[in-house]
Amino acid sequence: MEEKLRKFGKPAFCLLVLGIACALPWIGLKLYQVRVLTLAMAWAIAAVSLNLILGYTGQASLAHGAFLGIGAYAFGIFTERVGLNFWLAFLIAGLVTALLGFLVGLPSLRTKGPYFAIVTLCFNVIVFKVFENWTWLSGGIQGQKVPCPGFLAQRWARYYFVLAVLVLVLVVVRFIVKSLLGVTFMSIRSNENLAEAVGINTFRYKLLSFTVSCFIVGLAGALLAVENQHLDFTVTNYAYSFNLLVYVLIGGVATLSGPVLGAVGLYYFLDYMEKSLGEYRFVLFGFILIVAIIYFPLGVMGGLKRLWEWINGRRARYKAQEVAP
Amino acid sequence: MSFFLNQVIIGIQLGSQYVMVALGLTLIFGILDISHFAHGHLYMLGAYFLYILMTIAHVNYWLALPICMVALALGGVIVERLIYRPLRDQPHINTFIAAIGLFLFLETLVRAVKPRALSVSKPIDKVFSFAGITIEAQRLIVIAGAVVLVVLLHLFIKKTRLGTAIEAVAQDRDGAALVGINVNRISMLTFAIATALAAAAAVLMAPLAFISPEMGSVLILKAFVIVVLGGLGSMQGAIVGGYLLGVLEALAIAYVSSAYKDVFAFAVLILILAFRPTGLFKGRD
């Protein structure tokens, strides 16, 4: 029974969720809600990318807000001003972000723990200030237009496109995590000194993980730009780095579906609460983050996973591989 | 030349503010091993509390200073008890994330209430000038206040029994507990002192700048830059680093660009990490 569940249960469940996601625009969702879900899924892609470096490699990057903005701007500038075609600009958005991530990672990944978080946050503030003041680049307060290609002109088309990218990103991240590379990442997370001692060049792997993570978050930024068809410097705000952190931790750090669940759920929740709570809804974010890290450090999916393992009486084995970030 | 000297004095005054905040951060890091990322937001709360005291309760500035310090010290103790103590045995990064939670909570709460760009009046509204240098009295008050507080803190740690206990906990937590030092009480005391220092910095600085919800977030990043610059956990490192950064920043604003004024500190951080990751003074790893 359990063997069967393991073999067919999970893929079947994933297909079911995917099916529901595909059907959503046609079963009574308002156009506005399709837009909210599209944005939420773009954020989910960014959250998945943060999870790759935070959850699996154990490095808390607080620069993903900046990288999201850089991806968005790279896409905006290459389509609107350079006039490249959509696919090429989309790819370039990821590559430019990855390159910058690589360069930022070179000095900053030599620091550990909270200091890496602080250095990356400093980088985010620098990027924000540059985009705020360098109006030639960012378009200043008016921002700049982002053209939308013909095949994405319809709202549902953009929805499916973002969904497809999300699924693709999840498949790639799953492939990485299940491979030897993923095991190496996780060994750095659980004990960096030990990993170093057995001959793993931890710096090189952290840099790789960070660069890949930046590539994905750059794509997410481009998707946000396409959906909004407009960009201004606030997209590089470090507040977004914090938001992504909350999404990942609430959904479940170091799980595949956790960041998606956290991002979509919380983004939707925030949008829903806008009318009743106004600005106060962000106060909840801080509160939720504190309570979550003290009482539920594994998040929703991590908690469910542990519950499932516990039901199966494999608690001891599970404990041996510690999941905390 | 007098322009240059003027900038240096402004830099020392900026540095005084940084020193007070960074010293608290260093204390908390050095003694308790906590990266207290919301320290700047307690500073921000101190400034708002001063505003409430001065404009609504009409308390005299000089009386408001100790009231703010005591009130914020209590706030620091509450933060330690409610947030950091339950996380004591968890990985560092979890503590840091909890601190980010507090950071978000306080900043968005104050922003949601929307009292922006408040200001309080200066206690001594005078401008001194000699030998071509002109300087506001408040700037001198900030510099003098920082010196007095830093000296008091030094005397407290070196000369009193409680101070010695704090040093003992900083060196070896378990050893200190073994010889009968109440480690929990020392944690609370450390938070109280550090937060009172931040509150003093806020009260001294408030007449020179606007009070806003964001005033804590950039300051705390700079304080972390100073902690890294001075060497993690080193108190004299925090003092030297704070003044150094203050002067550097004032000169950069005057001679390079003011639009990017908050960026210099972070550029310094990246340079330090590239060339001298242990900082100026040898702190702890």
User: Mind listing the pLDDT tens digit for each residue in A191-225?
Assistant: 888 998 998 899 999 999 999 999 999 999 999 99
ipTM: 0.85
Q: Which of A57, A55, A64 is nearest to A302 (CA)?
A: A55
User: Residue B285's pLDDT is what?
Assistant: 47
SS3 B233: coil
CB contact, 8 Å: A125 with chain B? Answer: yes
Quick check: B231 and B280 in contact, CB under 8 A? yes
A314: its two tokens? 């494999």
For A130, the closest chain B residue by CA position comes to B260
For B114, the closest chain A residue by CA position comes to A279
Dist. CA A310–CA A302, nearest whole Å: 12
Contact B94 A324 (CB under 8 A): yes
- Residue numbers in B near A242 (CB within 8 A): 100, 103-104
Q: Over 60: is that where the pLDDT of A115 sits?
A: yes
First to last CA, chain B: 41
User: Residue A138's pLDDT is what?
Assistant: 83
Contact B108 A115 (CB under 8 A): no
Q: What angle do CA A302, A308, A313 make, to 5 degrees?
A: 125
Q: Which of B283, B149, B171, B167 is nearest to B229 (CA)?
A: B283
Closest Cβ opposite residue B111 in set A58, A279, A288: A279
Nearby residues of B12 by Cβ (< 8 Å), 6 or more positions away: B143, B243, B246, B247
User: Residue A320's pLDDT is what?
Assistant: 54
Q: What angle do CA B66, B68, B70 make, to 5 degrees?
A: 70
Dist. CA B249–CA B252, nearest whole Å: 5
Quick check: A117 and A62 in contact, CB under 8 A? yes
pLDDT in tens, A118-135: 889 989 999 998 998 888
Rg (CA), chain A: 20
Dist. CA A290–CA A232, nearest whole Å: 31
Distance (Å) from the C-alpha of residue A310 to the closest C-alpha of chain B? 22
CB contact, 8 Å: A118 with chain B? Answer: yes
pLDDT in tens, A203-212: 999 999 999 9
User: Residue B202's pLDDT is what?
Assistant: 92
Quick check: A173 and A48 in contact, CB under 8 A? yes
Q: Over 80: is that where the pLDDT of A250 sits?
A: yes
- Residue numbers in B near A113 (CB within 8 A): 35, 92-93, 96
Please name the residues between 133 and 172 in chain A that touch chain B, using a CB distance below 8 Å. 133
Quick check: B55 and B185 in contact, CB under 8 A? no
Q: Over 50: is that where the pLDDT of A258 sits?
A: yes
Number of A/B CB contacts below 8 angstroms equals 129
Dist. CA A59–CA A50, nearest whole Å: 9
Kindly state the DSSP code that residue B118 receives in the 8-state scheme: B
Q: Which of B252, B249, B250, B225 is nearest to B237 (CA)?
A: B225
For residue B272, what are the CA distances in angstroms to B16, B19, B27, B227?
A: 21, 18, 21, 11
Q: Which residues of chain B have pLDDT under 50?
A: 285
- Residue numbers in A near B225 (CB within 8 A): 122
Quick check: A196 and A11 in contact, CB under 8 A? no
Q: What values do phi and psi take at B127, rounded to 5?
A: -125, 120
User: Residue B197's pLDDT is what?
Assistant: 94
pLDDT in tens, A125-166: 999 989 988 888 888 788 888 888 888 888 888 999 999 999
More confident site: A49 or A133: A49
For residue A118, what are the CA distances in angstroms to A126, B100, B158, B226?
A: 12, 11, 31, 12
Q: Over 70: is that where the pLDDT of A98 sits?
A: yes
A151-161 per-residue burial string, b: 16 or more CB within 10 A, e: under 16: ebeeeeebbeb
Q: Over 60: is that where the pLDDT of A315 sits?
A: no
Length of chain A: 325
| β-bridge mates for residue B133, sequence order | B130
Distance (Å) from the C-alpha of residue B100 to the closest C-alpha of chain A? 7
A262: its two tokens? 């956290």
Helix (H) or strand (E) holding B194: helix B183-205
For A248, the closest chain B residue by CA position comes to B97
Residue A160's identity, in one-letter code, is Y
Helix, strand, coil content of chain B in percent (nearest 5): 75, 5, 20
User: Residue B69's pLDDT is what?
Assistant: 93
Q: How confident is the model at residue A4 (pLDDT cuts 50, 70, 90)?
A: low
Percent pLDDT > 70 in chain A is: 94
Query: What's the distance, CA B14 to chain centroid?
Result: 11
Distance (Å) from the C-alpha of residue A16 to the closest C-alpha of chain B? 34
More confident site: A45 or A270: A45
Structure-derived torsion over alpha carbons of residues A78, A84, A88, A91, reported in degrees to the nearest 10: 10
DSSP string of A59-125, one letter each residue: -----HHHHHHHHHHHHHIIIIIS---HHHHHHHHHHHHHHHHHHHHHHHTTS-THHHHHHHHHHHH
B232: its two tokens? 């993690």
- Residue numbers in A near B80 (CB within 8 A): none
Closest Cβ opposite residue A297 in set B94, B274, B277: B94
SS3 A177: helix
User: Residue B136's pLDDT is what?
Assistant: 84
Q: Which of B10, B76, B38, B50 is nearest to B203 (CA)?
A: B50
- Residue numbers in A near B92 (CB within 8 A): 113-114
Contact B221 A121 (CB under 8 A): yes
Classify A55 in phi/psi space as left (phi over 0), alpha (psi -120 to 50) or beta.
alpha
Tell me the residues of B at the A interface, defined by beta carbons under 8 Å apart.
35, 37, 83, 86-87, 90-98, 100-109, 111-112, 114, 218, 221, 224-225, 228, 259-260, 262-263, 265-267, 269-270, 273-274, 277
Contact A325 B262 (CB under 8 A): no
Q: Which of B165, B284, B275 is nearest to B233 (CA)?
A: B284
Closest Cβ opposite residue A286 in set B108, B225, B259: B108
Dist. CA B285–CA B234, nearest whole Å: 11
Nearby residues of B153 by Cβ (< 8 Å), 6 or more positions away: B23, B193, B197
B241: its two tokens? 């680093």
Quick check: A292 and B85 in contact, CB under 8 A? no
CB contact, 8 Å: A111 with chain B? Answer: yes
